[in-house]
Structure 1
Amino acid sequence: METIQKDVTSSMRAILIDWLVEVAEEYRLVPDTLYLTVNYIDRYLSGNQINRQRLQLLGVACMLIAAKHEEICAPHVEEFCYITDNTYFRDEVLEMEASVLSHLKFEMSAPTAKCFLRRFVRAAQVCDEDPPLHLESLANYVAELSLLEYKLLCYSPSLIAAAAIFLAKFILQPTKYPWNSTLSRYTQYKPSELCDCVKALHRLFSVGPVVNLAAIREKYSQHKYKFVAKRHCPASIPAEFFRDATC
């Protein structure tokens, strides 16, 4: 994105995604729709220069496409116009939708961190004493925070998901080794391979994104998500937790 975009910054991207989290909550969209939306946005921005006035238009067009792919009853295009305070007309959204579909070559399916997280959470819950819903909500919170941070795009979705499990387990039980042989087998990652990504997610959880955005934190501060956004996170992770011998 940085080599292509002249008028759009990573902070603007984060602000857009933070707003899309609110849109997804407003329309009660499934998590996969949000993750796919961000995937489409990043793929489009990596190959098409866009001015900042059209960034929100790109966001709603990508969410429209993702919703059609994932939702049983996707919101209509008019609803996406409404959610922007009618900043954009129906034809503009449809035109941007066509542009995105053309750039993506209609390749709508994509592996996201959410896809991997489902499998990894099940593996973690099988071999754990952590409260299942707390672990799942906390891992989902960490993974969703990662969507805001452009620099984390250097990590694969499966690595983000595994690192989110690692960090969630550490936050829930800071004195216990977060990783084990079962998780290594199911995720195909050793603790040493997770180290850099876990530390990046730890900073994001502790400090927050570069831009002070609150939608995800407020979402996961609700009772239905076990208030996981309010959990205390230790200032550092012991180095020995990243040693492969612990598995």
Structure 2
Amino acid sequence: MPLGLQDLLCSEDLESLEHGQSGVGSGFDSDSGSIRNLTNFSFPDDAQEVLARFIETESDNSTRSDYQSRLRSYSFDSFARAYSVSWILKALAHHHFLPVTAYLAVNYMDRFFALHQILEEKDWAMQLLAVTCLSLAMKMEETLIPSLVDLQADCSEFVFEPKTIRRLELLVLASLDWRLRFVTPFSFIEYFAYKADPSGKYARYLVSRAAKIILSALHDINILDHRASSLAAAAIICASDEIQDLAFTNPDTAVAWCSGLTQDKIGSSYQLMKHLAINNNVERKQPVILSQQRVMPGVRFEFASLSSLPTTRKRKREERDTMVT
């Protein structure tokens, strides 16, 4: 079954927030993306200054400019990315990871995939890359870390041995120059929710809904053209569109939320998210597995300029609960 947005996060009911529960919710810590209390919207005096510096550096971990063109022109690359993003979001829902963990994992995958191309059309190789990137991301953000075997439980068509994942982790880390901490939309989302609704009445809903919107946009390669701050602002605006009291919120007013924001960039991100929201009303088709061939130990997979020898085995239907040791 396709993974719906309602499965990615615990849902927030707008009506319940308006009747006794508003203003006492949970949002994302502006630095790490972790959940924290939003009561009274307490922010440091220099919060806007810090976020302005984030905006100045937010492009440091973007992908190469030709990556998007490659995705648009080469069907397997586009499929491989969609397959990997879907796996990461499925694992996010299964393990109840923070939304920022999924965002980081997709960023690591995009940055690695921008530098290295799979030489053969093997969907299991992209799943291995997705598992590896999520493994790195969860170590950055999560407090409860599942084992590498448990990470793949009930989420994977293929199961990879921990030593195989760790080997690819080193390749990914080297390719990313060990730069795993960077600015994401979740660095801004809580503060922007406060700017959109200083009363805090709809705080919990805005943050939760905006997070869902951002995660849904990860499937679309056009998100790579947009900055983290603009995505965060656009997501808060989209969430505000659903609340009559905040209907005045738009890209023009959002520019004042923080120094460095521009109406054009926010507007572009907003249009992308509105377009995706319309398309998401139609049930999303899950990427189809390219090949049903059994992957046996010793099969060689290659990225352009990088080679590895994974030890894998195909999960059997009748052995779905069997763990790889």
Q: TM-score range by the shorter chain?
A: 0.7 to 0.9
Shift of 1:127: 5.3
Q: Partner residue of 2:99?
A: 31
Contact 1:123–1:182 (Cα < 8 Å) also in 2 = no
Q: Partner residue of 1:103?
A: 175
Structure 1: unaligned runs, 5 residues or longer? 215-247
Q: Partner residue of 2:208?
A: 137
Q: Compare the two structures and name the one with the higher strand fraction.
A: 2
Shift of 1:181: 8.2
**Does the C-alpha gap of structure 1 residues 119 and 57 become closer, same or farther in structure 2, counting only changes over 3 Å?**
same
Shift of 1:12: 3.4
User: Of the candidates 3, 6, 13, which is equivalent to residue 81 of structure 2?
Assistant: 13
Q: Deviations over 1:160-197 (max 9, x none)?
A: 11111112212323993213887433234354442222
CA distance in 1, matches of 2:105, 2:262: 30
Higher relative contact order (CA 8 A, sep 6+): 2
How many pairs does the alignment contain? 213
Structure 2: unaligned runs, 5 residues or longer? 1-66, 287-325
CA distance in 2, matches of 1:24, 1:117: 19
Q: Partner residue of 1:203?
A: 275
CA distance in 2, matches of 1:7, 1:87: 25
Contact 1:162–1:194 (Cα < 8 Å) also in 2 = yes
CA distance in 2, matches of 1:52, 1:115: 35
Answer yes or no: is 1:162 the counterpart of 2:233: yes
Q: Partner residue of 1:116?
A: 188
Contact 1:8–1:52 (Cα < 8 Å) also in 2 = no
TM-score, normalised relative to structure 2: 0.58
**Does the C-alpha gap of structure 1 residues 91 and 192 become closer, same or farther in structure 2, counting only changes over 3 Å?**
closer
Structure with the greater alpha carbon radius of gyration = 2
Shift of 1:89: 2.3
Shift of 1:139: 1.4
CA distance in 2, matches of 1:20, 1:111: 20
Q: Compare the two structures and name the one with the higher helix fraction.
A: 1
Q: CA RMSD in A?
A: 2.8
Contact 2:237–2:251 (Cα < 8 Å) also in 1 = no
**Does the C-alpha gap of structure 1 residues 23 and 196 become closer, same or farther in structure 2, counting only changes over 3 Å?**
same
Letter in 1 for 2:234: A
Contact 1:37–1:62 (Cα < 8 Å) also in 2 = yes
SS in 2 for 1:205: helix
Q: Partner residue of 2:220?
A: 149
TM-score, normalised relative to structure 1: 0.75
**Does the C-alpha gap of structure 1 residues 211 and 37 become closer, same or farther in structure 2, counting only changes over 3 Å?**
farther
SS in 2 for 1:87: strand
Q: Partner residue of 1:232?
A: none
CA distance in 2, matches of 1:165, 1:52: 38
Q: Partner residue of 1:73?
A: 144
Answer yes or no: is 1:41 the counterpart of 2:109: yes
CA distance in 2, matches of 1:213, 1:200: 20
CA distance in 1, matches of 2:225, 2:78: 14
Contact 1:11–1:210 (Cα < 8 Å) also in 2 = no
